[in-house]
Structures are given as C-alpha cells and as structure tokens.
Structure 1
Amino acid sequence: MITVTRLDHTRFAVNPDLVERIQESPDTTLHMIDGHVYVISESMDAVIDLIVTYRARVLSAAQAMTGVPITGESVDGRAEV
C-alpha cells in the first residue's frame, strides 16, 4: 500500500495495483480501476515515486523469502537463458 493525502490533510492508503491512471491538472487525481477517484495533494511525480518504491520493496521481500536472485542470474550464478 502507498499512503497519500487528501486535500483536507487526511491521510489514507491505496493499493497501487488498483490505480488505473494518475492525472495532474492542477490537482492530482488517482483514478482507480473500480471507478473511484481520489483528489490528493501529492504531485503526480511523487505518486509515481511512491509506487516505484512500493514495487521495489515487494520484489526485494520476495527475493529475500525465496533466496532467488531477481537480477536475471540463476541460483548458481550463471546467466539464465
């Protein structure tokens, strides 16, 4: 989940996998795949950074749990084909 802020300064979390699109004109709006629209105070670039960071954390946690590298190398260090 990523945490964002409504214009009234209340914070809430959304599942970034459910974000359909982000618009900035001038307020930033999150359009969710279920049709909900949230107007937030963060910039579009900041939301994108939050999503990238969230997904990196997910990949890192998955790699830590499985021990399988996510760099394209096999467990024995050879490049996977």
Structure 2
Amino acid sequence: MDQSTINLALSAALAVAGWFGRQLWEAVQKLKEDLHRIEADLPKSYVLKDDMDKRMDHIEDMFKRIYDKLDAKQDK
C-alpha cells in the first residue's frame, strides 16, 4: 500500500469519528437544555412534598372533627 491510500483511509476514519463526536456533543447539549427547561417548569406543575403533607394534615384534622361531631350526635 502506498502512503496516499493510508492517508485517505485514515482521513475517512477520522471524518466519521469527528461526525459521530459532533452528533454526541449536540445530543448532550440538547439534553442539558431539556433538563434546564424541566427544572424551570417543575415547580409550576407539581406541588412540593412538604406543602402536600401540610394540606393532608389539615384535611385529616377536618375529618377527625367531623367524625367527632358525628359520634357526639349519635350518642344523643
């Protein structure tokens, strides 16, 4: 094999590797943008666990008071 054939094969291999690397880089950048967008939108779409716990405690307290009133009413 002469040197020009080796150079051509090596150039083709490096071109394919460069294209593949660029595709990977662009995919990672797009994933970073998507993740940032999700992080920004997440508080708008979902409630925090602490907030949900507080609301559930309030609802459970209301139910307890209702059950207590029903029990008191039943005794009469």
Q: Report the TM-score when normalising by structure 1.
A: 0.33
Kindly indicate which of the two structures has a greater share of residues assigned to helix: 2
**TM-score (structure 2 length as normaliser):** 0.35
Name which one, 1 or 2, has greater alpha-carbon Rg: 2
